[in-house]
Amino acid sequence: MKKITIAIDGHSSCGKSTMAKDLAREVGYIYVDTGAMYRSVTLYALRKELFEADGSVKIQELEQEMPNIHISFQLNAETGRPDTYLNGECVEKEIRSLEVSNHVSPIAAIGFVRRALVAQQQQMGKDKGVVMDGRDIGTVVFPDAELKVFVTASAEVRAQRRFDELKAKGMPADFEDILKNVQERDFIDSHRDESPLRQAEDAVLLDNSNMTIEEQNQWLLEQFKNATRIAELCSPTCSL
């Protein structure tokens, strides 16, 4: 079966990472969580105190530190999903904290950060057979992806999901703080100058506000099967 590239974009906390991970495991593809990459840079910046008191980023200092930031993914044998590693340390739990969530959008808006991570992402997916989710996968990283999906849900639903996720992990969580963070990230992600969040013209829209994880996984699997069939039928010069 011909391998394809799957680009899943969407708003924060809409469940795109969960569905991307599940699809990758189901079809035997590589999964890359690009959001985790930006969160890892954010965690590094927090640890190095590269934020001003007002939350702005110390741009010059971060740019000097970028060569020292190495992000990788390793499969977790227990969960069957990849964990995120920052300079050899598993930071899967740390990068999901509300503190990181509150600081990641300014980091993700920095041009040299995006260019560095986009280059890594394109290298990871050069041989296809990859499922990648983020904010600009279908528009910037892989504009020629055979399957593009744009995922959204209401801000309240997304905040509740994030709240439940943090509580399940035993991490502190306040619903109103999370809702505010979701709304602020939506605005910043959609209005930044560098690779703003937007739906690609040829992306399939999925509003999963009222869907279960099983329902959205089944929906995505059908989209994958359709895209793969089209890719098989098309000649190398076919425009999808």
Mean per-residue pLDDT for 58-81? 91
Predicted confidence (pLDDT) per residue in 199-218, tens digit: 999 999 999 999 999 999 99
Cβ atoms of residues 177 and 153 within 8 Å: no
Residue 17: pLDDT over 80: yes
Instruction: Write down the pLDDT at residue 238.
Output: 59
pLDDT confidence band for 77 (50 / 70 / 90):
confident
Predicted confidence (pLDDT) per residue in 165-208, tens digit: 889 988 888 999 999 999 998 998 898 888 888 999 999 999 99
Instruction: Write down the pLDDT at residue 240.
Output: 46
Residue 239: pLDDT over 80: no
Q: Helix 34-47 and helix 98-108: axis angle, to 10°?
A: 100
Backbone dihedral angles phi then psi of residue 40, each to the nearest 5 degrees: -65, -40
| Percent of the chain topping pLDDT 90 | 72
- Per-residue tokens: 220: 């995505």
- Per-residue tokens: 209: 């506000």
State how beta strands 204-207 and 81-86 pair: unpaired
Spatial distance between the Cα atoms of 138 and 1, rounded to a whole number of angstroms: 22
Per-position b or e across 1-28, b if 16+ CB within 10 A of its CB: eebbbbbbbbbbbbbbbbbbbbbbbebe
Instruction: Write down the pLDDT at residue 82.
Output: 84
- Per-residue tokens: 181: 């963070």
Instruction: Write down the pLDDT at residue 235.
Output: 56
DSSP states along 106-129? HHHT-HHHHHHHHHHHHHHTTTS-
Spatial distance between the Cα atoms of 78 and 229, rounded to a whole number of angstroms: 33
